[in-house]
Structure 1
């Protein structure tokens, strides 16, 4: 079987396994697979999205001792039994100091806590050059968690992707925290705040003033926010004629009232 085969590949340095929406992958199967991985890996890419693994599988990842790991990608969206405080702590402990690239898809983790996510933020390697963190759909996400994450962004990161779609507690305070702590080394920046009714043009205006001078590509998702057209115009005007390639994804919020738009766009 696959697990047995992996144990025979001790010299392998890169592993990518895709089990997206595979209902045959049980928690026992996930644990067995992770336990069988070579411990000298430099690149590890695991997609367990929509499977039944639990935090015990992530515990095995923590215990794997991948000291040479340089790139780690984990797709865990909708893995409700894995995305627990214990599961996130295991992910945090699996992040080696030498990690250069980290991608975590932790969407819709119903059991995630503020404490676990703040610990994750504090555990980010300062050596990271690429960071992708998707926390969309986690209702626990608020301005304080975003602030902790922003304060611990790797100083040398070049490619930064932060997704907070449908995180309804984020306000201007959270966006300002991200803007204030953006690493100056960032060349590519992607931010997602879809379906957020609290963000205003004031926060986006502050974001524009804080964009790193090295930035060359900026992608923003603001679908179903309150004042999309105003934000689009503000950012396009600010970056017009500059070196930054700008992409804004935004569809209007049909249920927003005239009063809501006026307040958000003031």
Structure 2
């Protein structure tokens, strides 16, 4: 599917056409601030619920669907096919790797705000489980798509010991002013398990998180500090209300 053309969520025709950062459906006239990128793959054991949730209906034109046999193939395809302003729907958090890579190539200095109950900062050598979905933020940093100093890790409360040591050593925290200072654009990666369990159905809920209103406020704060180049929502299981997910996107200006 061409990034210039997408499937309209309302009339279901391939007549949503990209212009500048937005889409307009030439059939029904609807306008959209972002193109939807579906990444229905979970890179770990037992992630089928996340894969199913990535097919949820959202009121954004479907510009790209990526399913590949390896994570590197997936990341490369996302980076190459991103619409100008993507709304990424996973799947697991590995969907963010390609989005960050692709956006970093378009912007002088891309910051990343990673909202997640977990750090996603393991490596194959430190991961207790071996699941790749526990490593994507570290992968994006290590491949050079985003600098450690331009990352804010917000809402994390369930880090493995090697992750705790890494953030302490590298100075990664939840300070938006630090991470966004000097950034020309920002990507917001939202794993819904950052929320208090019960707010939005999530794959790996962790008690002690913020509510939906708190996360909306954080995203608005981010958008007030830097231009949001894209948003990704991951870690869902079936049952999330489309209007709730849309609130996050609207808060980001999408």
TM range (shorter): 0.3 to 0.5
Indicate the structure whose relative CO is greater, using CA pairs within 8 Å and at least 6 residues apart: 2
Q: Larger radius of gyration, structure 1 or 2? A: 1
| TM-score normalised to structure 1 length | 0.31
